[in-house]
């Protein structure tokens, strides 16, 4: 969302300093009032105690009128809501002053005002000779939000009245906060500009593609400015600053990786980098990835795009960063291929991006087997632009539209709801709606539940792209500040992860049931994940499970909340394998078992969680026991040309050596002796050169070989024992199946006898 810059010297600051929800002292920061921080409270995004989201607000109030006490998940969500409200009413918004916490410097209070608030100060002798249009008329309309102790943001002050005329719907697209060159539009402009087309021709194409000038979302002047800036789109003097930083980081961190597209001296391509922690994090949590291009929609000065995911505490985790100076398809392909190489060429299960067709094509080319999802928040944001006339003429449409997307439980229900929506509002011929319907499998939640995205709520469904740098980087951040904020964000995120690790290890969760399964989960899961599991387990008390079909290898149960028989879920349960699948598909989507399967486990006496329902990525040991393979970090196996390669090879071998050396006391003692001798040789090599110690390295090698022979013998013995145990298990399994078969036959005989008795009694 875009806002006009604010000259604080000319502004009247009105702040209610009470009730911020913070215990620490606070400071009012007026030095950078333009900072449009896009804050999503990431620690609560996946909280087990999920509360009303922006979608819930929409479904609860069709008119979407703000009111004091109204709550939002984040400051960003409140600003988006207020700007959406402003678009419907007919005025433009901009961010005003904000308040920071003395404790950690985070923003805890933000004011969003009408763009005509305040007055411009007379510049006196230094004022420009060009007469400027008077746009500030002292309008008092504004909304102030404050961060509560719960982490949510609440409206603390609201003024709705304006002292000027409002803009009609057919002109609202000209207001500054409702104008921006979107990501898809940028890609199209770049393509047309490369073909030699001028601003007038480009605008003609955009108007035709958008179905009218009102739907373009920006003016011809904006298009001209973008085309002019794209010809000069380089980092300028900041380019050398970035290059020096990357070289310094590579010298300090042997696992640091960076790549530049093309010649750095004439940089027109992209830059990618990832430190060793980002690359290791991907090894632990690289099953789902988000490519965050918020800079495209928020008009950031620096085209900064991170790759992120979720760690075992449900916190954002970084997998690398990019500076995108070129947004062509070939540039995105290069970026994705480079990132994949840095991440040991292991493809993620799923990836979330915006819905730009250029990015879509690049993802399809580089990640053919990965499930590609569009950020739903971006889709709904674009809907506000493309369907602005419908939103204004039909105030209830937006709430019904979002209910259709977020609240439908099955594909058939969605299809029926969508068709009903088109007919009710007579919008079946809308081209944008048709295009998004054609791509529904990539953004509507009901189509995505069969794939893992790491979100702890199915209804959460990428309401916003998970940004690791929310609150650190904004539209006014330049390249020098970006690097500092990048390092600050990494340090802060690390502190939060360490704090979550500490809480998980040292604060025992309160058990709410006598269930052995709850006790098991408390020992395995991290604190935040356990809280979500516990919520599901406790809810099973209100969800009776009724068997409806037991004729096949799987038994089907009907599960519904008591008193809500209209909302039914079906669970298929294989008693032999203890495997279940639920129609809600929560486990497939989030990796946490749902209350419906747990209800079936309760009635079938499954007292502990089967291993296949415990995802290691959500456990306390998520970052342990990873053995790096030959392709880890994308380096050749025999590479010794760089310190990074040598570092990674040594680390990989050391991890294997430690795991083998800790198997027994005898092997441990041999390993320690070898390490001590090797340490002495390394010290000698550093002093005198490698040639002096080559002759003595044979002894160490012989000791290691002897250790390896003993280990091989032990492995063979254990493998033989494992084979015997497996054979015994198969014999027991066969006997169990025979017993169960006999039981089923006896059950059938008894059923027949009972039926005969009933017939005799009736006769």
Query: Which structure tokens are listed for 561?
Result: 């909340």
Which has the closest alpha carbon to 479: 682, 235, 710?
A: 235
- Residue 509 neighbours by CB distance under 10 Å: 17
Mean of pLDDT over the chain: 78
pLDDT at 42 over 90: no
pLDDT at 1 over 70: no
Which has the closest alpha carbon to 467: 342, 669, 295, 590?
A: 295
CA angle 669, 671, 672 (to 5 degrees): 65
Q: pTM value?
A: 0.60
Predicted local distance difference test score (pLDDT) of residue 474:
78
Q: How far apart are CA 188 and CA 7, in angstroms?
A: 34
**Residue 675 confidence class, pLDDT cut points 50, 70, 90:** confident
Q: How far apart are CA 306 and CA 468, in angstroms?
A: 8
475 or 282, higher pLDDT: 282
Q: How far apart are CA 689 and CA 699, in angstroms?
A: 19
Share of the chain above pLDDT 90, in %: 37
The percent of the chain in helix, strand and coil, each rounded to the nearest 5, is 50, 15, 35
Query: Which structure tokens are listed for 374?
Result: 């569009």
pLDDT in tens, 282-296: 999 999 999 988 777
Predicted local distance difference test score (pLDDT) of residue 669:
77
**Residue 186 confidence class, pLDDT cut points 50, 70, 90:** confident
Place of tokens 């990357």: 246
Mean pLDDT of 450-476: 72
- Measured over the CA atoms of residue 498, residue 502, residue 505 and residue 509, the dihedral's sign is negative
Place of tokens 């749902």: 594
pLDDT in tens, 86-131: 888 889 998 888 888 887 778 889 999 998 888 876 655 555 555 5
Q: How far apart are CA 657 and CA 655, in angstroms?
A: 5
Edge-first strand order for the sheet with 142-147 is 26-29, 93-101, 107-114, 142-147, 153-159, 71-72
Q: Do the Cβ atoms of 239 and 267 come closer than 8 Å?
A: yes
Q: How far apart are CA 285 and CA 275, in angstroms?
A: 15
Which has the closest alpha carbon to 318: 297, 356, 289?
A: 289
Pairing state of beta strands 153-159 and 257-260?
unpaired
3-state secondary structure of 123: coil
**3-state SS record for 145-180:** EEECCCCCEEEEEEECCCCCCCCCHHHHHHCHHHCC
Mean pLDDT of 393-397: 88
pLDDT in tens, 618-671: 999 998 865 433 333 333 334 344 444 555 566 556 665 665 666 677 777 777
Mean pLDDT of 171-177: 79
- DSSP secondary structure code for residue 525 in this structure: B
Which has the closest alpha carbon to 76: 13, 152, 179?
A: 152
Which has the closest alpha carbon to 99: 57, 139, 157, 51?
A: 157
The DSSP bridge partners found for residue 371 are: 350
239 or 40, higher pLDDT: 239
Query: Which structure tokens are listed for 290?
Result: 């988000």
Q: How far apart are CA 467 and CA 167, in angstroms?
A: 34
Place of tokens 């490698």: 690
pLDDT at 563 over 80: yes
Q: How far apart are CA 60 and CA 55, in angstroms?
A: 9
Q: Do the Cβ atoms of 26 and 99 come closer than 8 Å?
A: yes
Mean pLDDT of 308-332: 91
The DSSP bridge partners found for residue 353 are: 374
138-142, 429-433, 487-491, 660-664: which has the minimum mean pLDDT?
660-664
- Cα–Cα separations (whole angstroms), residue 628 to 451, 620, 651: 26, 20, 9
Q: How far apart are CA 674 and CA 700, in angstroms?
A: 6
Where b means 16+ CB within 10 Å and e means fewer, 111-137 reads bbbbbbbbeeeeeeeeeeeeeeeeebe
3-state secondary structure of 137: coil
Q: How far apart are CA 376 and CA 406, in angstroms?
A: 10
Predicted local distance difference test score (pLDDT) of residue 656:
59
Predicted local distance difference test score (pLDDT) of residue 210:
75
Nearest 5°: phi and psi at 273?
-150, 155
Q: How far apart are CA 316 and CA 663, in angstroms?
A: 35
DSSP tally for the chain: helices H, then strands E: 24, 17
Pairing state of beta strands 257-260 and 270-274?
antiparallel
Q: How far apart are CA 83 and CA 80, in angstroms?
A: 5
Helix (H) or strand (E) holding 308: strand 304-310
Query: Which structure tokens are listed for 320?
Result: 């690398």
- Cα–Cα separations (whole angstroms), residue 218 to 180, 508, 582: 6, 54, 46
How many whole angstroms from its chain centre is CA 505?
Answer: 25
Predicted local distance difference test score (pLDDT) of residue 722:
73
Predicted local distance difference test score (pLDDT) of residue 658:
65
Predicted local distance difference test score (pLDDT) of residue 629:
39
Predicted local distance difference test score (pLDDT) of residue 55:
41
User: Which residues have CB under 8 Å from 716's CB, separation 6+?
Assistant: none
3-state secondary structure of 520: helix
Which has the closest alpha carbon to 52: 138, 152, 123, 143?
A: 152
Query: Which structure tokens are listed for 552?
Result: 């096949």
3-state secondary structure of 69: coil
Place of tokens 């298929």: 572
356-365, 479-488, 636-645: which has the minimum mean pLDDT?
636-645
Mean pLDDT of 6-33: 33
pLDDT in tens, 589-622: 999 999 999 999 999 999 999 999 999 999 999 9
pLDDT at 28 over 50: no
Q: Do the Cβ atoms of 478 and 486 come closer than 8 Å?
A: no
Predicted local distance difference test score (pLDDT) of residue 517:
95
Predicted local distance difference test score (pLDDT) of residue 498:
92
Mean pLDDT of 253-258: 90
**Residue 202 confidence class, pLDDT cut points 50, 70, 90:** confident
Q: Which of 156-165, 235-244, 735-744 has the highest mean pLDDT?
A: 156-165
Predicted local distance difference test score (pLDDT) of residue 360:
92
Query: Which structure tokens are listed for 595?
Result: 């209350």
686 or 675, higher pLDDT: 675
User: Which residues have CB under 8 Å from 549's CB, separation 6+?
Assistant: 555, 556
Query: Which structure tokens are listed for 396?
Result: 């209830």
450-459, 483-492, 603-612: which has the minimum mean pLDDT?
450-459
Length of the chain: 763
137-146, 192-201, 356-365: which has the minimum mean pLDDT?
192-201
Which has the closest alpha carbon to 80: 407, 315, 370, 298?
A: 298
Query: Which structure tokens are listed for 194?
Result: 């490369």
Inter-residue long-range contacts of 489-496, CB under 8 Å, 24+ positions, other chains counted: 490/275, 490/277, 490/318, 492/104, 493/315, 493/316, 493/317, 493/318, 493/468, 496/43, 496/315
Q: How far apart are CA 34 and CA 20, in angstroms?
A: 21
Mean pLDDT of 427-446: 92
Which has the closest alpha carbon to 403: 4, 654, 58?
A: 58
Predicted local distance difference test score (pLDDT) of residue 592:
95
User: Which residues have CB under 8 Å from 608's CB, separation 6+?
Assistant: 516, 517, 520
């Amino acid at each position: 969302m875009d806002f006009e810059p604010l000259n604080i010297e000319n502004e009247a600051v009105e702040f209610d300093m009470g009730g911020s929800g913070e215990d620490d002292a606070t400071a009012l920061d007026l030095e950078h009032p333009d900072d449009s921080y896009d804050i999503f409270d990431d620690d609560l995004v996946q909280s087990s105690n999920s509360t009303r989201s922006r979608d819930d607000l929409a479904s609860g109030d069709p008119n979407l009128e703000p009111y004091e006490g109204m709550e939002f998940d984040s400051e960003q969500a409140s600003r988006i809501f207020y700007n959406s409200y402003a678009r419907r009413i007919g005025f433009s918004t901009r961010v005003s002053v904000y308040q920071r916490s003395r404790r950690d410097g985070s923003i805890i209070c933000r004011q969003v005002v009408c763009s005509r608030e305040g007055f411009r100060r007379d510049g006196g002798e230094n004022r420009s000779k060009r007469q400027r249009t008077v746009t500030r008329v002292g309008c008092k309309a504004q909304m102030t939000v404050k961060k509560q102790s719960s982490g949510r943001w609440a409206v603390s002050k609201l003024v709705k009245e304006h002292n000027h005329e409002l803009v009609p719907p057919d002109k609202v697209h000209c207001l500054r906060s409702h104008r921006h060159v979107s990501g898809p539009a940028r890609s199209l402009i770049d393509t047309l500009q490369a073909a030699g087309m001028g601003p007038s021709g480009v605008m003609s194409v955009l108007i035709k593609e958008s179905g009218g000038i009102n739907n373009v979302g920006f003016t011809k002047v904006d298009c001209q400015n973008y085309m002019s800036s794209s010809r000069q789109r380089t980092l300028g003097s900041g380019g050398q600053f970035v290059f020096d930083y990357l070289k310094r980081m590579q010298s300090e961190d042997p696992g640091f990786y960076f790549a530049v597209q093309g010649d750095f001296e004439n940089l027109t391509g992209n830059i990618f980098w990832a430190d060793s922690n980002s690359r290791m994090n991907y090894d632990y949590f690289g099953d789902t990835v988000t490519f965050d291009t918020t800079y495209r929609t928020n008009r950031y000065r620096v085209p900064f795009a991170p790759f992120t995911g979720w760690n075992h505490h449900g916190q954002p985790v970084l997998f690398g960063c990019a500076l995108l100076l070129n947004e062509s398809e070939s540039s995105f392909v290069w970026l994705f291929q480079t990132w994949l190489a840095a991440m040991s060429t292991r493809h993620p299960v799923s990836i979330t991006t915006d819905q730009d067709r250029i990015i879509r094509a690049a993802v399809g080319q580089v990640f053919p087997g990965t499930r590609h999802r569009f950020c739903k928040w971006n889709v709904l944001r674009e809907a506000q632009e493309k369907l602005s006339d419908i939103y204004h003429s039909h105030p209830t449409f937006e709430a019904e539209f979002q209910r259709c997307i977020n609240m439908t439980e099955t594909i058939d229900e969605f299809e029926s709801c969508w068709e009903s929506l088109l007919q009710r509002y007579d919008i079946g011929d809308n081209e944008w709606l048709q295009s998004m319907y054609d791509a529904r499998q990539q953004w509507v939640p009901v189509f995505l539940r069969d794939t893992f995205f790491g979100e702890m709520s199915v209804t959460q469904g990428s309401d916003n792209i998970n940004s690791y740098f929310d609150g650190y980087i904004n539209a006014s951040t330049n390249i020098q500040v970006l690097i500092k904020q990048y390092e600050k964000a990494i340090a802060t995120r690390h502190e939060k992860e360490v704090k979550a690790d500490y809480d998980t290890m040292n604060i025992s969760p309160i058990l709410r049931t006598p269930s052995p399964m709850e006790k098991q989960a408390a020992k395995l899961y991290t604190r935040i994940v356990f809280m979500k599991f516990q919520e599901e387990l406790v809810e099973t008390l209100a969800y009776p499970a009724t068997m409806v079909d037991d004729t096949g290898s799987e038994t089907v149960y009907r599960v519904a909340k008591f008193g809500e028989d209209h909302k039914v879920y079906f669970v298929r349960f294989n008693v032999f394998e203890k495997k279940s699948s639920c129609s809600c598909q929560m486990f497939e989507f989030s990796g946490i078992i749902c209350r419906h399967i747990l209800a079936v486990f309760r009635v079938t006496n499954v007292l502990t969680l089967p291993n296949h329902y415990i995802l290691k990525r959500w456990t306390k040991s998520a970052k342990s026991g990873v053995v790096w393979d030959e392709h880890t970090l994308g380096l050749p196996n025999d590479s010794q040309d760089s310190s990074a390669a040598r570092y990674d090879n040594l680390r990989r071998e050391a991890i294997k050596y430690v795991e083998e050396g800790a198997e027994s006391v005898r092997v441990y003692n041999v390993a320690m002796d070898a390490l001590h001798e090797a340490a002495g040789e390394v010290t000698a090599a550093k002093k005198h050169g490698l040639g002096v110690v080559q002759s003595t390295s044979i002894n160490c090698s012989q000791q290691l070989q002897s250790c390896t022979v003993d280990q091989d013998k032990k492995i063979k013995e254990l493998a033989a024992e494992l084979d015997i145990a497996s054979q015994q298990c198969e014999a027991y399994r066969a006997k169990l199946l025979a017993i169960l078969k006999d039981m089923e036959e006896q059950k059938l005989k008894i059923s027949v006898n009972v039926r005969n008795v009933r017939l005799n009694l009736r006769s």
